[in-house]
Amino acid sequence: MGRHWRHLRYVMGENPITLFAFSLFFGLVLVAIFGPGLAPYDPLASDAANTLKPPSGAHLFGTDDLGRDVFSRVVVSTRLDLAISVAAVSLSFAFGSLAGGCAGYFGGAVDRMVGRFVDTIMAFPLFVLAMGIVSALGNTVENIVYATAIINFPFYARVARAEASARRGAGYIEAARLSGNGHGRILLFHLGPNILPPMMVQISLNMGYAILNAAGLSFIGLGVRPPAAEWGIMVAEGAKFIVSGEWWLAIFPGAALMLAVLCFNLLGDGLRDLFDPRTRT
């Protein structure tokens, strides 16, 4: 445990950007966990007497056209958006890395089958494919998660396939095979840790992409349904008021969305350094 803690401190100390990204990430996680308790107002409660009020001491981010506190809605939205992205990326990582690892390790018919499936998904514009899936299944949170996981599947499958294919003839794989390890154990305990670093970079990038995808679906009316608090819905609802001067309705949820995506984009290098076995020697 002490060795891992020292390695974490080393990674953080070597790269200030990584320290900033991890700090921002833990801040987002804390807001997601404690968001409802941090919100000063009920995010769904309307107040006709305080509609379209600009930012003030009483309402830090102002109020919307129904008198709802924008700050409370932005804070509470963090849990939903992060939950969608974590669930979708976890599914696509689990199935994509398994399929890609098997394709790269076994080759032959398994490689061709996985490759054709990945090519079929990549043949469509990914956001349009997500729109089609949600339109066909219905715009529920579960279907948004499934659609996002499907369009992210090829990224993990391709990375895992390339890494496994390059390493399946390595000396430590041959040694593990000669020691009597089965294919499953080799894939899980020998190939897995060595293909994990580039996969962690992909996870961080796809987390940001998953949040953008969920927000984009909500923006065009195919995502989370109103009156639920969600960044994409808030940007869509606030966009029509920018011309009339109520800029805060779209700016603050858009800024929260930008910070979340920036955080996950910067997180990739740090995760690679943390999980790469070569950096711990």
Domains: count for the chain = 1
Give pLDDT tens digits along the chain (281 positions). Answer: 556 566 566 666 667 777 888 889 999 999 999 988 889 999 999 998 889 999 999 999 999 999 999 999 999 999 999 999 999 999 999 999 999 999 998 989 999 999 999 999 999 999 999 999 999 998 889 999 999 999 999 999 999 999 888 888 787 788 888 888 888 888 888 788 788 878 888 888 889 899 999 999 988 888 888 888 899 999 998 988 988 889 999 999 999 999 999 898 888 767 766 666 555 55
- Supply the CATH number for residue 53's domain: 1.10.3720.10
User: Domain span at residue 192?
Assistant: 2-280
Q: Alpha-carbon distance 154 to 93, whole Å?
A: 10
pTM equals: 0.85
Of residues 257, 92, 215, the one with CA closest to residue 158: 92
> What is the separation of C-alpha 5 from the centre of its chain, rounded to a whole number of angstroms?
25
